[in-house]
Amino acid sequence: MPEYKNHGPGHGGVSQISRVDWAGEEERSQPSFDGDWAYELIDKALDLFCLCYDGRIIYLNNAGAEMLAVPSAHKAIGKSFTDFIHPQFRETAERALEALSTNGEMLALKFQRVDGAGHDVEIMISPFPGSGDKAVSIYGRDIAHRNQAEEELLNSHGRLERRIEKWEQALVRERELRRRAEDQVNHSQTVIENLSQAVVAVGADYKIAAVNRAFTEMTGYTTEDAVDRPPHFHISSPEGRDIHNRMWEGLKKEGYWEGEFWNLRKDGGKYAERLSITAFTDVNGKVQYYTCVISDITRHKEDEERIHFHANYDSLTGLPNRSLFLDRVEQMVANTPRTLRKLGLMFVSLDGFKLVNETLGYDYGDLLLKQTTGRLINCVRKGDTVARLGGDEFSIIMPNLSSAENATSLAQRILDTVAKEFRLGGHPVAVTASIGIAICPDDGVERTDLLKNAASALASAKEIGGANYQFSTADFNDEMKERLVLKTGLNKALENNDFILHYQPKLDLRSGRITGVEALMRWKSPDLGWVPPGKFIPVMEETGMIIEVGEWALRVACRQYNAWLEEGLEPIRIAVNLSARQLREEGFAAGIERLLAETGVPPSGLEVEITESMLMKDMEQSVVTLARLNEIGIHVAMDDFGTGYSSLSYLKKFPIDTIKIDRSFVADIATDPDDVEIIKTIITMGRTLNRRVIAEGVETEEQLNILREFNCDEIQGYFFCRPMDAKKVSAFIQAKTAGSE
């Protein structure tokens, strides 16, 4: 048996090994971990490392001394290793020691600590290279916490999070795997090669000096791929450059850096890693080498993400659940006073959901909820939050509202969208929605108040039959009363000739010629005075009056076409806006054909304007109606282009002659680069598809010049001409014509 002794270098009793010469020890050809830094890794390792000769301990690291509860490592020197094995496992350990190996497998047993306590561990026994048949190295790790964590994992979801936290703390401590030892390079090589963490030694020239087996298994890069090359493994992830910069900042400032991130293996597969890098310097502070310890934490990251998802998101729809929804409401309520804007909170419930479950089954009910989720997401703005609170109830958080009225347009859009027919496994299903709305700060500045008021408003919507939205405030109750007054006045407006058409000309940017006018409806009520179209037209849509009033507008426009001809004006096309209800009416196209025949107006004298969203109300019927109008020879313009679906497929599917760019893009064209690109794209697309492009809302010369530069066909807006009655338009056209001669 060789001589052995244990002595400390005077820094905390750290065990060191005197050199032992065993005959027959072979030189290793693989990259070696030369230098004092390798022994520092062994003594700072969190796992036990022990050398035994003839069954007795000749070396024990600090972690092993702590695991066996001996006061210091040298107290264990000379003792039989099996003295520290619990009697229940002693015979198994003795057999493994006699065999000099556990065949590369971890042997689970229990230590009998000096303090009498049992301790669950796993050990691996390996014959020590070049030492004959008496010396072995023993690697051991503490599994008491792991066993407890695994048992707790089966008990509750909450304990799983704590187990992950403990495991992460254990990973952080692995950075302490650095401490000096004196000798035995082959000993350190064996330990490092058996570590489950990847270890990389990097020289001062920033080239890799050595890697262990765990590195090649973890990353897929072989020793030949890595040694004598810069360590590229930490920048192979998408965010690698940022990680690289932060790493160098930490090394320069602290001499140490640690971080977690998703990385890429050599084959492109993703894995999560914790990387710890330490710079070792000489007495003058000059870097001699770096050591890197890499842990694969993919499973833990995936567990964290899975736990986070289930804790915050609905498993059926993928939407935020009640917990995350309440948290976001709390945050947005707190931020609202600083923004000087309003916050909207909307509760949405499906009318008829229970009937779907009872008649088709819960699987179809789940399918309905999923399809509803998609429709709601398509309705909201960027920055809004759609959440599922449970059952058939959804909620929408609407931050940064300029006014409470903004919520009404979203509510109506949701009502219209949900009311469209669903197809559930081949079954046509019709449901509607009821909506309750609360506004912060109007309905409260606390989360509890807003939730209560939104729920109360939803209950009101349900009570009056569903398929509607209700606000919780008295102000909006007054607004509903105002809508009732509007409905009453509109019922008499057509009979009393209170409606009038104003016309806004369109200008061709190339010729400077007036190409047509758009007919715009106005209402002067005897009781209310001039009522804005934004107030009375939605009411007409809701009541169905829009069909009758729309027919009136078409007839008046045709008569005005003839009147201008009689005045000696050149023929100009009159555009009339259509509603979704008109487009869905059977026989609508035939009715226009009869009107043209009756008034003698050629089809080229009339144009109809529709919006993108209208086409989605009833696509099949819209295609049929617009195709018939196109056959007659009536021009079709798509209004408000860019604010809805803006799909090329619509331009190809529908017979669209003209695209009208919405005024919201034109308004900021001189200051917003995004709007510039959008308008340029629309104009280019229109020219490619042989459609004319009109820009609405042109109010400044700068806007006009930009549109002319982009080769826009026509403009319409206050810079050129405001909407006027027929007589003023006639005078304007005559003056414009005379001025151009």
Element (H, E) at 673: helix 673-688
Residue with tokens 């219209």: 416
Residues 366 and 515 in one domain: no
> What is the predicted pLDDT for the residue at 294?
86
Distance CA 184, CA 433 (A): 77
Both tokens of residue 632? 């007659």
Lowest pLDDT segment from 188-192, 335-339, 381-385: 188-192
Residues 516-523, mean pLDDT to the nearest whole number:
94
CB 278 within 8 A of CB 256: yes
> Is residue 488's pLDDT more than 60?
yes
Establish if 675 belongs to a structural domain: yes
Establish if 107 belongs to a structural domain: yes
Q: Please choose, from the candidates 488, 524, 364, 518, the residue with its C-alpha nearest in 3D space to the C-alpha of residue 429.
A: 364
78-104 as b/e: b if 16+ CB within 10 A: ebebbebbbeebbeebeebbeebebee
> What is the predicted pLDDT for the residue at 257?
86
Residues 343 and 490 in one domain: no
Residue with tokens 């490592």: 73
96: domain CATH number is 3.30.450.20
Residues 216 and 255 in one domain: yes
> What is the predicted pLDDT for the residue at 30?
36
Report the domain count for the chain: 4
Which tens digit of pLDDT belongs to each residue from 658-689? 999 988 889 989 888 888 998 998 899 888 88
Both tokens of residue 119? 């301790």
> Is residue 236's pLDDT more than 60?
no
> Is residue 142's pLDDT more than 80?
yes
> What is the predicted pLDDT for the residue at 305?
72
Show which of 282, 304, 326 is a domain's final residue: 304
- Share of residues in the chain with pLDDT > 90 (%): 28
Q: What is the pTM for the complete model shown?
A: 0.42
Which tens digit of pLDDT belongs to each residue from 342-381? 899 999 999 989 889 888 899 999 999 999 999 999 999 8
> What is the predicted pLDDT for the residue at 536?
87
Q: How confident is the model at residue 6 (pLDDT cuts 50, 70, 90)?
A: very low
> What is the predicted pLDDT for the residue at 2?
46
Query: What is 576-641 written as a DSSP string?
Result: EEPPHHHHHSTTHHHHHHHHHHHHT--GGGEEEEEEHHHHTTSHHHHHHHHHHHHHHT-EEEEEEE
Residues 517 and 655 in one domain: yes
Distance CA 333, CA 330 (A): 5
Which tens digit of pLDDT belongs to each residue from 290-323? 888 888 888 877 777 777 777 788 889 989 998 8
The burial class, CB within 10 Å (0-12 / 13-18 / 19+), for 495 is exposed
Show which of 118, 142, 176 is a domain's final residue: 176
> What is the predicted pLDDT for the residue at 518?
95
Establish if 171 belongs to a structural domain: yes
Residues 464 and 503 in one domain: no
Show which of 267, 283, 304 is a domain's final residue: 304
724: domain CATH number is 3.20.20.450
Establish if 477 belongs to a structural domain: no
Residues 342 and 285 in one domain: no
SS (H, E, C) 349-383: EEECHHHHHHHHCHHHHHHHHHHHHHHHHHHCCCC
The whole-chain average pLDDT of the chain stands at: 82
Residues 614 and 555 in one domain: yes
Which tens digit of pLDDT belongs to each residue from 52-101? 988 899 888 888 898 888 988 888 999 999 999 999 999 988 888 888 88
Q: How confident is the model at residue 406 (pLDDT cuts 50, 70, 90)?
A: confident
Residues 119 and 18 in one domain: yes
Which tens digit of pLDDT belongs to each residue from 186-201? 455 666 766 778 888 8
Residues 103 and 19 in one domain: yes
> Is residue 106's pLDDT more than 60?
yes
> What is the predicted pLDDT for the residue at 449?
86
Residues 464 and 599 in one domain: no
Residue 466's SS3 state is coil
Establish if 36 belongs to a structural domain: yes
Establish if 310 belongs to a structural domain: no
DSSP state of 719: T
Lowest pLDDT segment from 143-157, 204-218, 477-491, 573-587: 143-157
Distance CA 274, CA 296 (A): 7
Residues 101 and 124 in one domain: yes
> What is the predicted pLDDT for the residue at 422?
92
Residues 296 and 325 in one domain: no
> What is the predicted pLDDT for the residue at 701?
93
Establish if 188 belongs to a structural domain: no
Q: How confident is the model at residue 183 (pLDDT cuts 50, 70, 90)?
A: very low
Establish if 11 belongs to a structural domain: yes
> What is the predicted pLDDT for the residue at 537?
87
Q: How confident is the model at residue 499 (pLDDT cuts 50, 70, 90)?
A: very high
Lowest pLDDT segment from 44-53, 69-78, 164-173, 685-694: 164-173
376: domain CATH number is 3.30.70.270
- Share of residues in the chain with pLDDT > 70 (%): 82
CB 325 within 8 A of CB 75: no
Q: How confident is the model at residue 184 (pLDDT cuts 50, 70, 90)?
A: very low
Lowest pLDDT segment from 5-14, 232-241, 353-362: 5-14
Range of the domain at 98: 6-176
